[in-house]
C-alpha cells in the first residue's frame, strides 16, 4: 500500500454544486421517502420529527464532517484512509475501514431489492396497471410480486443501471448523473407536495406531522429517531468518506456537511408533507409500517384525481432517489478494489456488481422461495438490514467519531475544518469526542438487545 498523503492522481468533483448534488444524492434515498414517513407514522408524528432533527444536528453534522475530513485528508479509499492517517495501530484502524466495505456491500444488496420494487411500480404506474387494483387488492398483489422471480430480475436491473453510471467514473458518472437527477427529484417532490396540500383534509396530515405530541415518546422512539438519522444521512458506512476523498482542497467541509444534512432533512419533511395529507385525506392509517408507500399510497393514488400521473411521478421520484444512493454505496467497494488491489475501475465495478447480484438475489428471494431460510431467526433480507442498520453503521460511525476526535491530531482536524468559525469547530470536536460516541454506543447496545 502506498502511503504518500499527497495523492494527486485521484479524481476530484468539478464544482461545488457537484459536491452537494453527490452528497445529498447519497443521503436522499429510500431512507427519506420510504422509511422516514413510516417511522414517523409508527412513532407518533411531530415528536419523532423533532427528535430526529435534534440527532441530525448533534450527531449527524459532526459525523458527516468527520467522514469528509478523513476522506479528504487521506485521499484514499476508506481502508487506506484509516491506514494512512492512523499514527499507530494501523492494522486495527484498517479493520475499521474493512468493516465499512463489508457493510456497504450488504446495504447495496438489500437496498437494490427495494429499489427494484420501485422500478416495478414505476412501470405499473406508466402502463396504468397500478391504478387497476380494487382498494385493498394491492396488498395481495404486493405480496405476490415480492414473492416472485420478477423481483430478482428488477434487483439485477437496478444493479446494472448502477454499474453503467459508475463506469462513467467520478466526474462523468457519479457527479454528472447526480447534477441532473437531484434537481429533477426536487421538482417532482415539490409538485407532489403541492398536489397533496390541495387535497381536502390535508390539514390533519400536516397536524400529525408537525404538532409534537410527547405523550407517545418512549425510549424506543428516541432510538428509532437516532437510527433513522444515521441511515438517512448515510453515516458510518464510508460513503461520505469516499466522497470527501474527491473534494477539492477548497471545498468547505462544515458548510458542505450542514448543507447535506439540511437538504436531506428537507426532503424527508417534504416526503412527509406529500404522504400524510394524502393518508389522512383518504382515511388510511399513518402507522402502516414499511408497506405504507407500496400498499397504502397506490390505493390513495387510485382514488385521487390525476392519480394516473401522480403515481408514476412518485415512483420515479423513489427510483431516482435510490439510484443516487446505490452509486454512493458502490463507490466505497470500487475505490477499495481499484486502489488496494491495483485493478482497473471496470474490473472493480464488475466485481462489486457480481457480489451484489448474488447477495441481492438472495435478499430478493427472502420474500418468496427463501422465506423459510432463516439465519439466527432472520431471513437474508432482514439479516442484512438488521446487521447494517443496527450494528455495522453505528459501529462505523463510532469508529470515525473516535478516530477524528481522539486519534488524529487536532491540528489536522482544525486545518481541514477551516474556514469554519472556531466555536463551531470546537462544538464539532466536542460532539465527536463525547456526545456522538455515547449516543452511538446506546443505539448499538439497544440494537443488540
Residues forming contacts to ligand PHE in the complex (CB under 6 A) are 26-27, 29-32, 107, 231-232, 234, 237, 239, 325, 328-329
Q: How many helices (H) and strands (E) does the chain have?
A: 23, 0
CB 47 within 8 A of CB 222: no
Closest to ligand PHE by CB, 61 or 420: 61
Q: How far is the CB of 426 from ligand PHE (least distance, A)?
A: 28
Q: How far is the CB of 138 from ligand PHE (least distance, A)?
A: 23
Closest to ligand PHE by CB, 105 or 329: 329
Measured in whole angstroms, the distance separating CA 184 from the mean position of its chain's CA atoms is: 18
Write out the H or E segment, with its range, that includes residue 38: helix 36-42
Closest to ligand PHE by CB, 30 or 439: 30
Q: How far is the CB of 345 from ligand PHE (least distance, A)?
A: 20
**Residue of this chain nearest to ligand PHE (CB atom):** 31
Identify the CA nearest to 113 among candidates 165, 166, 158.
158
Q: Name, in order, each residue with C-beta under 8 angstroms of 321's C-beta and a sequence gap of 6 or more.
A: 28, 29, 30, 32, 33, 185, 267
Q: Residue 378's beta-bridge partner residues?
A: 375
How far is the C-alpha of 69 from the C-alpha of 254, rounded, in Å?
Answer: 9
Closest to ligand PHE by CB, 30 or 99: 30
Largest CA distance in the chain: 63
Q: How far is the CB of 31 from ligand PHE (least distance, A)?
A: 2
Can you tell me which residue has the cell 430480475? Answer: 153
Closest to ligand PHE by CB, 175 or 299: 175
How far is the C-alpha of 348 from the C-alpha of 354, rounded, in Å?
Answer: 10
Closest to ligand PHE by CB, 112 or 325: 325
Torsion angle of the four alpha carbons 199, 201, 207, 208, in this order, in degrees rounded to the nearest 10 = -90
Using only C-alpha atoms, the chain has a radius of gyration, in whole angstroms, of 21
Closest to ligand PHE by CB, 329 or 413: 329
Q: How far is the CB of 233 from ligand PHE (least distance, A)?
A: 6
Amino acid at each position: 500500500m502506498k502511503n504518500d498523503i499527497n495523492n494527486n492522481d485521484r479524481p476530484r468533483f468539478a464544482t461545488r454544486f457537484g459536491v452537494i448534488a453527490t452528497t445529498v444524492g447519497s443521503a436522499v434515498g429510500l431512507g427519506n421517502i420510504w422509511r422516514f414517513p413510516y417511522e414517523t407514522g409508527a412513532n407518533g408524528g411531530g415528536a419523532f420529527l423533532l427528535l430526529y432533527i435534534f440527532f441530525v444536528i448533534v450527531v449527524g453534522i459532526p459525523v458527516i464532517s468527520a467522514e469528509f475530513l478523513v476522506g479528504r485528508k487521506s485521499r484514499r479509499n476508506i481502508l487506506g484512509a484509516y491506514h494512512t492517517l492512523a499514527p499507530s495501530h494501523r492494522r486495527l484502524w484498517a479493520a475499521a475501514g474493512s468493516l465499512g466495505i463489508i457493510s456497504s456491500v450488504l446495504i447495496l444488496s438489500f437496498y437494490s431489492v427495494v429499489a427494484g420494487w420501485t422500478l416495478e411500480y414505476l412501470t405499473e404506474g406508466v402502463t396504468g396497471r397500478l391504478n387497476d387494483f380494487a382498494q385493498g387488492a394491492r396488498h395481495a398483489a404486493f405480496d405476490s410480486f415480492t414473492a416472485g422471480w420478477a423481483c430478482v430480475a428488477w434487483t439485477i436491473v437496478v444493479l446494472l443501471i448502477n454499474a453503467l453510471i459508475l463506469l462513467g467514473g467520478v466526474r462523468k458518472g457519479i457527479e454528472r448523473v447526480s447534477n441532473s437527477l437531484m434537481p429533477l427529484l426536487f421538482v417532482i417532490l415539490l409538485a407532489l407536495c403541492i398536489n397533496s396540500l390541495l387535497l381536502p383534509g390535508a390539514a390533519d396530515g400536516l397536524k400529525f406531522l408537525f404538532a409534537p405530541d410527547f405523550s407517545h415518546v418512549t425510549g424506543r422512539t428516541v432510538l428509532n429517531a437516532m437510527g433513522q438519522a444515521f441511515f438517512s444521512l448515510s453515516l458510518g458506512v464510508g460513503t461520505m468518506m469516499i466522497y470527501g476523498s474527491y473534494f477539492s482542497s477548497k471545498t468547505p467541509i462544515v458548510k458542505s456537511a450542514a448543507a447535506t444534512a439540511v437538504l436531506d432533512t428537507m426532503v424527508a419533511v417534504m416526503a412527509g408533507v406529500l404522504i400524510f395529507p394524502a393518508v389522512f385525506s383518504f382515511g388510511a392509517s399513518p402507522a402502516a409500517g414499511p408497506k405504507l408507500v407500496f400498499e397504502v399510497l397506490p390505493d390513495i393514488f387510485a382514488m385521487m384525481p390525476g392519480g394516473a400521473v401522480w403515481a408514476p411521478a412518485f415512483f420515479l421520484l423513489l427510483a431516482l432517489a435510490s439510484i443516487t444512493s446505490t452509486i454512493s454505496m458502490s463507490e466505497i467497494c470500487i475505490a477499495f478494489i481499484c486502489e488496494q488491489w491495483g485493478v482497473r475501475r471496470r474490473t472493480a465495478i464488475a466485481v462489486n456488481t457480481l457480489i451484489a447480484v448474488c447477495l441481492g438475489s438472495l435478499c430478493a428471494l427472502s420474500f418468496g422461495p427463501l422465506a423459510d431460510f432463516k439465519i439466527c431467526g432472520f431471513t437474508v433480507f432482514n439479516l442484512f438490514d438488521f446487521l447494517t442498520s443496527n450494528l455495522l453503521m453505528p459501529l462505523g460511525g463510532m469508529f470515525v467519531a473516535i478516530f477524528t476526535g481522539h486519534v488524529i491530531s487536532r491540528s489536522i482536524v482544525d486545518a481541514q475544518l477551516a474556514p469554519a468559525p472556531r466555536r463551531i469547530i470546537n462544538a464539532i470536536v466536542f460532539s465527536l469526542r463525547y456526545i456522538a460516541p455515547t449516543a452511538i454506543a446506546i443505539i448499538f447496545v439497544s440494537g443488540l438487545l
